[in-house]
Each structure stands twice: as structure tokens, then as C-alpha cells.
Structure 1
């Protein structure tokens, strides 16, 4: 089941979070930071809370409400301090307004503050969800803290904006090792570096050469390839089955994760996680806030529930993670109580209850 779309053990990410830095148990329980986020965030994190409560899991939530609106810097600081205490979190998506001035992206600020450098998105067909292409099972690993999202831009003279893309050897090596370690520990045979080195010969050239060098010198048992990002985008929609593990700078990963999400049925289905030297934050793999369906009770919580299963694996609660993920897959495959985005008529609450009922039936 190593290639099932959910990782069996937190040992898979030992390079990102060492055992000594995992959350401490108090009275046999973990405290986990919960950040519902914007849009449908509260609705889908509520699904997780209900499932965890029914399963009597040893998780206590420290809930921090932060929105993507102007003036929420204080909320980000509160979330950062909570994660520094707890070391692990479950997070909804924050909205970043393209017309908004001021602090820019809260997501970027959050990741840079805690050095949560590796983003993981698991893109796989789910039985019961009809898609145009089958056999998709790829992992996208994205560098989270530099590239085009370095946040270094200014208007040098009126009408002329300079935006700096930063690529460093240290962070390229770090994300490359994360990708190869992931591949090695999860029986993946190939890592492909995504780049635009034909144009950005120095920046993307450094990323490309670093990934290939790390692979050749330290992971000879894993095949290493590279692909230009525009070709990667075309190949992703025509023949995604060819890809195993993709490792990318920040912007390319954001684009490719959304392409992959569309291929397997939409943003409500794809789980994700973010890892740093000390902290881990679990959130849906597609960065869609769902403002258009907020409050309607129709959001698909699958991505958040499966992300919470990754959180449980990270804490060593593999049996509970297996049980919850299997219940989700079974409810979707049966197709009797699924949400509108994948062809059903069930509400968020009805879908959640169906999973709870399945868990009870399999107990």
C-alpha cells in the first residue's frame, strides 16, 4: 500500500522532521494547532474534528482563527507562536487577494517565518471518481521559501517594477534531498526536476544542476531526469502517468499542483503537507479557498480529511490513519453519499456522517 496515495509512516519524512522534534505527549495526548483558514476552511476542518472526536483520538486542538484579509498580521504571529509550541498543525487555505496591498501572501510569510520549506502534494486517482485519465499516481514536491515567492519586489521608477527571483544552492540541495529521500522510502523509482533553465540559465540552471548532482552522487539507485516547465505542463495533461516524483521551485509547483488536481477530480480530493526543520503543517494540496461555495454546506472535505490522516501518520498513529483513509475511499467508491463536485448530492455534513458510520461499521 506504499503507493496508495497516503504514506504509511512518518519515517518517510525523517529528513524533514527529526524524531526529537516531534510534538510531545501530555497525558497521552497531542496538542495540534488548528487554523481553519478562509472560505470553506471551517466547514471542512469541522469534518475532521467530528471524525477525530468519534474515533476518540488523542488529539486536542488549539484553534487559531486567521483570515487572508488586510490587517491579519497579528493572527499570523499568533499562528506562528502556536506552531512553535505544538510543532504540528492542520490548516485550511488562506485567501491572498491579487489587488491587495500591504503584507502580501500570508501563506508565504507563514512558511518563511517557520522555514516550512517542503510542500508535498499527493495526486492520485480515487476509485469512484470518474476522470478522463486513469492510472495517475504522482507526487509533487515544491520548494516553499524562495524562487518567485521570495517577496522581494519594488517599483524602481513609476511604471517599472522589479521582482527578484531567488534560487540558492543550499535550498536547492535541501529540497532535492527531501525529494530523493521521499522516493527512496516510498518505493518510488524516479525524480524529475522541473525548471526553465533554457531561459533562466543561472537561476533555474542552478536548481536543475543541483538536483541532478544530488541524485547522481547520493541516490544512484533512483533515476533522475529533468524537464522544462512548459513541456511538463503539456505532458501533465496528456500523459501524467509517466511521472513519479516531481521536484520544483515554488511557482512551477503551484501551477503543476493545480493541473494535477484537475486531472484527478478537483481541489476537494487532493491531500497535502508542508514540512520544515522543526514543524509540519497539513493542508489540502490544492490552494483553492472555495469562496463561491462558502456557507452552502456542499464543500467536499476529502482533501482535508486525507491531509489529517497524513498528520496522524506523522504522529505515529498509523492504525487510525489507515482506518480513516479507508473509510473515506469506501464511501466515495460506493457513490451513495458523495458531494456535488464528484457527481453526488450529499452535503458536507452528510458525507462526513457517512464516513463516521463506515468507521463505526468497521470497528
Structure 2
């Protein structure tokens, strides 16, 4: 059953993350930070809020609006403080300005400030969504805090820019252990390190060696492989069924998550999560803002809803997670109220209502 896409891959939030990540519970209810994000963010987080309300999920939202504006740094600070209070968040995607005059990535700053070091993307076919390939079921685990996204750039002389890629053994070990723990807890057989060690022999060589050493020394029951990133990209579009768990430095994970998302139907379908030592933030696995469709009411909220299902499992609300994920899959399989990106006629609100109706009849 496809519903195990979210369930089997994330029992109690992977069972690899410390209980310290759980928020304080007051009167049987949890307070969760809600970060709607830019573009379609509010539309798809509204879907989650409506479904939770209909299901009477014991979650109270503390909403923090952070947008791509001059006050963005203040907004990130407010979001960080909210997460420090609540420990768990549901997040839309923040737009990153590509101009040289703009600020750096709010997403990167947010993750580094809270040390949310592990990004999880679940890439799996959904029955009812027509794709060119079937049988895709891979997990992408991406290091979130260093690599090419270290933010260390400068212009040494006019016309010459140096951008530093940072790879450390400590953080490579940390993400490797997260990947192997995930594989062990979820009956995954293989962990593959993605790298470019044939060229970047020191940086990517360190990442590759560290992952392989951690696997060989601490996880003897799990097969360890490695693959060069350009070959991984080719293999991902020609034979993605061969992959089980992929663990990557920051940039390679960003690229491969988008490739994987395209294979299974698009950015509206893929759930994701981000974990640190103390905090967990759940957001769609494909980090697209959707500016071109914002406000049109056509965005697919599936990825955000399934990300909220991961959040429910993290909170120990497994029965609610089962109900919501089952309802989403049934609506998609039925095909009558799916959104336009996957061939249906429905708006975001109509899809959301169809999920609520399915829950009411279950």
C-alpha cells in the first residue's frame, strides 16, 4: 500500500531523533510554529490548517509570516525564536533573491541558525499519478548546513570571486549516521554516498570516505555504495529503481531532489522534513516557491499535507497521520478532484475539501 510511503519511512519521526525534539504538550495539545512562506506557501499551508481543524488534531498554530522583504532578517529571527519555544514547525518555502544586491538565502540562514542539519525527501510513485516510470521508492538525505551553501564568498579582486565549499569530518559523520540510522529503522538495505571525489579529492573525498567508514564500522548489515554525482543524475533518470537511500552534500542533494521530484509527478507531490539535534521542521521535499501560480488557487497541496503527516508521526499521533495520508491517496487514486498539475480539474480548495470529505466518510 502506498500509504506506507509516509508511514514506514518515518515511524515516530524516524525513531532516530531524540525525544528532546518533541514540543511541550499542554492540556493534551501541541503548539507548532507555522511558517507559510512565499508564493503558494499560504495556500498550501491553509490546506493543512483546514484538514487539521476538520480532524480536530490537537495542534495549535503559532504563525510567523516571513517574506522576501527588507524586514526578512527580522522575520527569520522571529521564526527562530518561535521554533526555540515550540521545537517543531511546518514551513512553506521562502524565496531566495538571486540578485547580487539581495540578502542571502533565508532558508539557509534559518537552518544554520538552528543547526537543522539533515534534510529528508521521500520520492515515491503515487497510484493515480501517471509517470513514465513505476517502482520508484528512494530516500534522499542531504546535509543542510555546509558544503557549497556555507555562504563564504568574496571578490578577491574585481572580476574574481572566490566561493568556499566547506566539508568537515564531524558534519559528514553526523549526516552519515543519520542516513544509516534511517536505513536501519526503516528496513532499507543500501546507503549510497553521492560525491565528486574524482575531481574534488580532498573535500568530496573526505565526505565519501567518512560515509563509507561509518557504514563499514558501525552498520555492518547495510550495504554501502558510492556514486559520482553526474553519473547519479544520469542513473536517476534512466534507472531510479536501483536507488534506496542516497546521502549527499548540500548542493548535490538540492539537484537530485528536483530530479527525483520530476520523476514522480512534480513538486506538488513530494513530502520532506528537516531535523536537527533539538528542532524539527517539516516542509515539501521539492523547494519550489510557485510564484507563477501564486494566488490562482491551483497549487497542489499534497506535498505539504504529507509533510504534515510526517510531523504528526513525529508527535506520536500515528492514527491521525494514517487517516490523513489514506484520505489523500484515495482522492488522488480516484482522480475526480485532483489538481491541474496531475491532470485533474480541481482547485487547491476543492482538493482540500475532497480530502476532508473522504476523512468524514472513513
CA contact (8 A) 1:10 1:315 kept: no
| Alignment partners' CA distance in 1, 2:161 and 2:361 | 59
The residue number in structure 1 matching 2:316 is 316
The residue number in structure 1 matching 2:216 is 216
| Alignment partners' CA distance in 1, 2:13 and 2:34 | 23
Correspondence 1:1-363 to 2 at 5 A: 4-8=4-8, 9-11=10-12, 13-15=14-16, 17-362=17-362
CA contact (8 A) 2:40 2:291 kept: yes
CA drift of 1:19 comes to 1.1
3-state SS in 2 of match to 1:359: helix
CA contact (8 A) 1:35 1:65 kept: yes
CA drift of 1:102 comes to 4.4
4+ aligned runs moved over 2 Å, structure 1: 1-4, 7-15, 68-71, 100-103
| Alignment partners' CA distance in 2, 1:215 and 1:187 | 15
3-state SS in 2 of match to 1:61: strand
Q: Deviations over 1:188-220 (max 9, x none)?
A: 000000000000000000000000000001001
3-state SS in 1 of match to 2:283: strand
- The verdict on how the C-alpha distance between 1:11 and 1:264 changes in structure 2, with shifts beyond 3 A counting, is same
3-state SS in 2 of match to 1:341: helix
3-state SS in 2 of match to 1:5: helix
3-state SS in 1 of match to 2:7: coil
TM-score, normalisation: structure 2: 0.98
CA contact (8 A) 1:2 1:186 kept: no
Count of matched residue positions in the alignment of Structure 1 and Structure 2? 361
| Alignment partners' CA distance in 1, 2:299 and 2:100 | 26
CA contact (8 A) 2:7 2:322 kept: no
CA drift of 1:101 comes to 2.6
| Alignment partners' CA distance in 2, 1:205 and 1:122 | 26
CA drift of 1:3 comes to 8.5
TM-score, normalisation: structure 1: 0.98
3-state SS in 1 of match to 2:305: helix
**Aligned Cα root-mean-square deviation (Å):** 1.2
CA contact (8 A) 1:2 1:187 kept: no
CA contact (8 A) 1:70 1:100 kept: no
| Alignment partners' CA distance in 1, 2:62 and 2:100 | 29
CA drift of 1:103 comes to 2.8
- The verdict on how the C-alpha distance between 1:290 and 1:102 changes in structure 2, with shifts beyond 3 A counting, is closer
3-state SS in 1 of match to 2:268: coil
Q: Deviations over 1:146-171 (max 9, x none)?
A: 00000000001100000000000000
The unaligned stretches of length 5 or more in structure 1 are: none
